[in-house]
Chains A and B, each alone.
Chain A
Amino acid sequence: MQRDSDPPSRKRSGEPASTEEAGGLKDSDREGPADDKPQGFVPEDEAEYDKPHEEGPHGKAALAIERKLEHRAEEEAAAASSPFALMGYFTTPKDIYHACETLRDAGYSRFDAHTPFPVHGLERAMGLKASPLPWLVLGGGAAGLSGGILLAWYTQLYDYPLIISGKPAFSYQAFIPIFFELTVLVAALTCFFGLFALGRLPSFFHPTMTHPSFPRATDDAFFISVEVSDPKFDATETRNLLQRAGAQGIREVSS
């Protein structure tokens, strides 16, 4: 499963893809002498001070063991978390368009495309359903309109009737601009927050971000991520499908 994955320590480093591809997956084990000096707050009282490792009987060997244990714990944590998606990238909009069509036609439904710029018609190639957002906005607009009418009626007629410039107490004509503004305001706010909710935002971390080449999704790479939760997902078959479509850097990412 994890045959292409990097050890987690490297995974989040976001190194450029070119090094990663050319230089293979060599883990530059952190054995340098740089960070074996104590850092941060050092108490003045010698008695409280736990002697630095290099001066102690175990010295650098103990430090190395500690590091190795840390490393292992990290790896175990990575292995324990379930894979989220299989990712791969293409270098032209045309390729990702056709790959999306292939996935759609193969019956996949839970996959996403990450592109540096809008690729026109991609939502059709992906077979995405129409967004429910317009209906939410319509509801928001209707709610704003009725809220505005209610507000004007309550304040002007029900709660405290006032005669202004000799006009009837509830002169709706004067409030049409308010009805209009409230309709637009609530519709716009529904649109804004509805989009956040539908996109599950704000989200500070997403498994796709752990793909080492993912920064290129804002530059020159067109990513596809097929989620493991897709009913059609099969580790080897999906990988083959992506490979046949011409994807590069195929790897599994986990949450």
Chain B
Amino acid sequence: MKSHGSALAEDTKVLDRAVAKRLVSRSMVLAIAGVALSALAAVVDTKRFAFSYLTGFTWVVTIGLGALFFVIIQHLTRARWSAAARRHMEWMSGVLPACAVLFLPVAVLAHDIYHHWMGPQAANDHLLQQKAPYLNPTFFYIRAGVFLAAWAALSLWFIKTSRAQDESADFRPTAKMRAGSAPAVIVFALTISFASFDWLMSIDPHWYSTIFGVYVFAGAATSSLSALALITIALHKAGLLRKVSNVERQHDIGKLLFGFTIFWAYIAFSQFLLIWYANIPEETIFYRHRWEGSWKVVSLALLFGHFVVPFLVLLSRHAKRSPLVLGAASVLLLVMHYVDLYWLVMPNVDHHGAHLSWIDLAGLLGPLGVGAWVLSLQAAKSPLYPLNDPHLAEAARIDNP
């Protein structure tokens, strides 16, 4: 390594072959079990499974999208601290091509999920007739194809270019990714917004919120940073990364996670305040549904679990530097991201109160298992940090005084 000498000799370049094999085989078992459980649930209760699966699928896809956003933004800002973190986020964004396959059940069951506007009763609904040029099945499938293809292409391109640098010790891939990141971020912003409108907001086609795409994005950024924190902590604990990723980098990830926790609350509250203040029936009904019966408990759990508790916990510098505290906050935020999506999707099935079912778990485990499998495949075959990143030495040196 000409560029950084022996400064990073303490860092392991690739996962040990036996460890990688164990990781892949275990996650493959999880994937097979999850998919089998999903298939069983689909047979038992197709309608509920459609919604449960949509929740699980969007959980995985938003984590992948948050990771893709992180990769893009690091190149866009020419960040130097995040060399190792960027590689871990590249792994995570690797689930996006798999999401094109994971979307198939949603595509098949779309008429169950979006029955309000895909079903025959839409013909008698004046409002839906007005929205029909956008909300019609053909255009829906075309858009979904475009979103999934764009995400798969972006994530594969960034992974491929970054991996090319591992072999060539060349600056050109970095320059290429920086140039590509500007158009990529525009594509990303548009696709994630419209995908949220299509897949989550249109379940209740009379309701609308213009900030909805940003809300989903805030959850995506928070959950992917939580997953990154867990990967970073795991690699530190295993003693694989010591220099290029250390407690200072963990602290930086904690700071970003803290910031996006506040961002999520800010966006969630912005959406709530406008709807609450205006008090227009067709808008307020969204919160009305989510304040009925046990949904009220879920709403409050979201307020405290997704904002108040992580905010107070991550406020302290010592918490962000402690693997235990940051890890616990990350697990909480990942769970809360699922609760958030559950809170968006499931009130359309369970009116007047939440009813947990094993089918919900099946709908989560299928996409989760496949996502974990793809992630461990990425981790197994790719170096643990970008071996020839031009800023490795700085990433190892910068600290938080």
Contact = CB atoms under 8 A, between A and B. Distances in A.
A and B associate: yes
Interface string A159-199: 00000011100000110110000000000000000000000
Interface string B269-304: 100110011010000000000000000000000000
B399 interface: yes
Provide the main secondary structure of the chain A interface: helix
Contact of B399 (A121, A134, A174): A121
Nearest to A134: B317
B401 interface: yes
A120 interface: yes
A55 to B, nearest CB: 67
Given A173-B273, A176-B269, A165 B279 contact: yes
A220 interface: no
B399 A173 contact: no
Nearest to B278: A165
Provide the main secondary structure of the chain B interface: helix
Interface string B252-282: 0000000000000000010011001101000
A123 B401 contact: yes
Contact of B273 (A138, A165, A176): A176
Contact of A120 (B273, B277, B401): B401
Interface size class of B (residues with CB under 8 A): 10 to 19
Contacts of A120: 399, 401
A123 B400 CA distance: 12
A153 B325 CA distance: 35
Interface size class of A (residues with CB under 8 A): 10 to 19
Interface in B306-326: 315, 317
Interface in A82-130: 120-121, 123
Contact of A173 (B276, B315, B317, B401): B276
A174 B277 CA distance: 8
Contacts of B272: 173
Nearest to B317: A134
A123 B401 CA distance: 8
A200 B399 CA distance: 28
Nearest to B262: A180
A177 B399 contact: no
A121 B401 contact: yes
B321 to A, nearest CB: 13
A167 B279 CA distance: 10
Contacts of A174: 273, 277
B246 to A, nearest CB: 15
B284 to A, nearest CB: 12
Contacts of A167: 279
Contacts of A121: 399, 401
7 contacts: A120-B399, A121-B399, A123-B401, A138-B315, A165-B277, A174-B273, A176-B269
Given A120-B401, A134-B317, A174-B277, 13 more contacts: A120-B399, A121-B401, A123-B401, A138-B315, A165-B277, A165-B279, A166-B279, A173-B272, A173-B276, A174-B273, A176-B269, A176-B273, A177-B273
- Going nearest first, the 5 A-B pairs with the smallest beta carbon separation are A173-B276, A176-B269, A123-B401, A120-B401, A173-B273
